[in-house]
Chains A and B, each alone.
Chain A
Amino acid sequence: MALLEIKGLSTHFSLPRGILKAVERVDLTVERGETLALVGESGSGKSITAASIMRLVPPPGRIVSGSILFEGVDLLQLSEDKMREIRGNRIAMIFQDPMTSLNPVFTIGEQVAEGLRIHRGLNRAQAEEAAAEILAQVGIPAPRERLKDYPHQMSGGQRQRVMIAMALALRPELVIADEPTTALDVTIQAQILELLDRLKEETRMGLILITHNLGIVAERAHRTAIMYAGSIMESAPTEELFANPLHPYTKGLLASLPENAKPGQELATISGNVPVLYGGTAGCPFRDRCPIGDAGCAATYPEMHDAGGGHLVRCLKAHD
């Protein structure tokens, strides 16, 4: 049984302008000890997918269909009480901006210890002891002293480490990291990603890594899913995806990287703009920007096609 299996997940927002299909018919699987990268441009639905797994979709958003099996149990069928036991405890989240989940008026120690007291029933002294240990594990120097610090007294990289410490304190089975290093510099980013990899090896947790940095994906993820306008367009074992991209959008993204061009040479581009997600489901979400799309693509929403070897692609023309 997979650790997490999402089937046919759709999350929509009813807005005055119409129904916004933030997440549409998403299927994803995460195994224990596996890193799944979820890649896409801003607004493609990555964070709302994560919020759906946590059942924290902000109103007027609503999960309208699908199932989210966590160790075989459908999270969407659980009572709110049961869900609260899972959230933060067995499934944890790490956000891009640590200040959104660190409370500025409590010390680092109080915040890291809180979950341990609530979910593990440790007393204050025990929880503080455990918190110091966890801070040491994530590479905070002099952790015992830092327990008394407030978030603003730490650097961006240190705050990110504290957030990882909080997320991992309860040894969750699944961690969702939403752009965990986007705000950090490359050298600190590399440190944080290495830390996550190491902790994942130690605990065999599953990791969903949300990012738009394809280099990070190539280096860290076992499997990669490419999201566009709410839908997964392609997913495959990472090496296979980079060596043999099948979807026109994935091909376009890889071709446009400055890294893949000679210095100064004109870069390949994907024409057009990132789409707005209103409107009917008819047709392929990528059709307005696709170099090989035709009339058929405007009429039919492509089903996911299995190209073999775990390589899935949502394109009418990738079937042959």
Chain B
Amino acid sequence: MTDLLRAEGVEKQFAARGGGMFAPHQRLMAVAGVDLELNPGETLGIAGESGCGKSTVARLLTGLIPLSGGRVTYQGRDLAALSRAEMALFRREVQMIFQDPFSSLNPRMRVSEILAEPMVIHGIGTEAQRRDRVDFLMNRVGLLPEQLSRFPHEFSGGQRQRIGIARALAVSPKLIIADEPVSALDLSIQAQIINLLQEVKRELGLGFLFITHDLSVLRHVSDRIAIMYLGRIVESGSAEEVLEHPRHPYTEALLAAIPSVDPKKRRKHAAPKGEIPSPLAPPSGCPFHPRCPYAEERCRVERPDLVEKDRPGHRAACHFSEKLPR
């Protein structure tokens, strides 16, 4: 089976100003050699701390920003080699959902126009067919027909996210990339939206790339998980393997830091020490070594590769995975 979307050694550098006003431009390695693949019908969850490169990966995979290195393939074909028509098809089949649906919805358009627009752009259907499809989508995401003529500001955050989801579904995508789709929502609304995303994923057999920093959401939605740190994937594997038997000390630290409502699950580890280093001056060797409780001399000089650990498909970038309890 060929994968739907694949990244091979994907890199992104940004020009950044370091230090004061007159400091020379520095290069910031936002994404530093990321490999991942996404299969049809599968949800890959990506987690990591703020600034680790999650959104940049999403934008690279959708071709929204150019790569600095590596390649992205869609159904086996290099994005860089797609013809104009093939690129248009890619843009239709791969849709994005954002954290803040407000900034991604045109404030001057009515909901009916927002939902029809992607179909117009991709030349799908007659006007009457598009109107039918809009009605279907409204119903599917739990909005009322009388809300069609309203503007985005007349909706609550959760309702706006429903509009964002409906718009992504309008053109029958094969893959949805959702960047923190529930992070800005209220607690009682998060569960509604997670359920909706899960339902449409199953109904339509969609592939999903789900970016979140909330590990309990990640556990709930993901088949496979990738944990990022400073622009790299440091651990990946099946959701259960990664979360139950982390092979990277950073994953272990993240899991220890999540506050839990269940007294039995509560781990009384001390909080992981130290701050997230600046991506402008990443540490030598293993990027996690200044914060790692298992670090040894080797970690300061030699960067570990992402390699398979004791279970098939479970990879970690750590010299001393065997020190972690199994």
Taking A213-B259, A215-B261 as given, write out 5 further A-B residue pairs in contact, using a Cβ cutoff of 8 Å, ordered by the A residue number: A190-B272, A215-B259, A219-B266, A258-B219, A266-B195
* Residue of B188, B257, B258, B260 ringed by the most chain A CB atoms within 10 A: B188
Residues of B within 8 A of A96 (CB): none
A contact patch SS:
helix
* Residue of B220, B256, B263 ringed by the most chain A CB atoms within 10 A: B220
From A187, A215, A267, B191 is in contact (CB under 8 Å) with: A267
- CA distance in complex: A267, B185 (Å): 15
- CA distance in complex: A161, B42 (Å): 41
The interface size of chain A toward B, counting residues with CB under 8 Å, comes to 46
Residues of B within 8 A of A273 (CB): 156, 158-159, 189
Residues of A within 8 A of B257 (CB): 186-187, 189-190
Residues of A within 8 A of B259 (CB): 190, 193, 213, 215-216, 218-220
The distance from the CB of A213 to the nearest CB of chain B, in whole angstroms, is 6
CB <8 Å contact, B261 and A218:
yes
CB <8 Å contact, A256 and B188:
yes
The answer to whether the Cβ of A214 comes within 8 Å of any Cβ in the partner chain is yes
- CA distance in complex: A159, B32 (Å): 28
The distance from the CB of B79 to the nearest CB of chain A, in whole angstroms, is 31
Q: A155-B275, A185-B49 are in contact. Are A256 and B187 (CB under 8 A)?
A: yes
CB <8 Å contact, B191 and A256:
yes
Give residues 166-208 of B contacting A (CB, 8 Å): 186-192, 194-195, 198
Q: What are 24 of the A-B contact pairs (CB < 8 Å)?
A: A155-B276, A156-B50, A157-B275, A187-B257, A189-B257, A194-B270, A194-B271, A212-B186, A214-B187, A216-B259, A217-B261, A218-B260, A218-B263, A218-B266, A239-B263, A242-B263, A258-B216, A259-B261, A260-B262, A263-B219, A263-B221, A263-B240, A273-B156, A274-B188
The answer to whether the Cβ of A56 comes within 8 Å of any Cβ in the partner chain is no
CB <8 Å contact, A41 and B187:
yes
* Residue of B186, B194, B266, B273 ringed by the most chain A CB atoms within 10 A: B186
The answer to whether the Cβ of A158 comes within 8 Å of any Cβ in the partner chain is yes
CB <8 Å contact, A257 and B216:
yes
- CA distance in complex: A189, B259 (Å): 10
The answer to whether the Cβ of A270 comes within 8 Å of any Cβ in the partner chain is yes
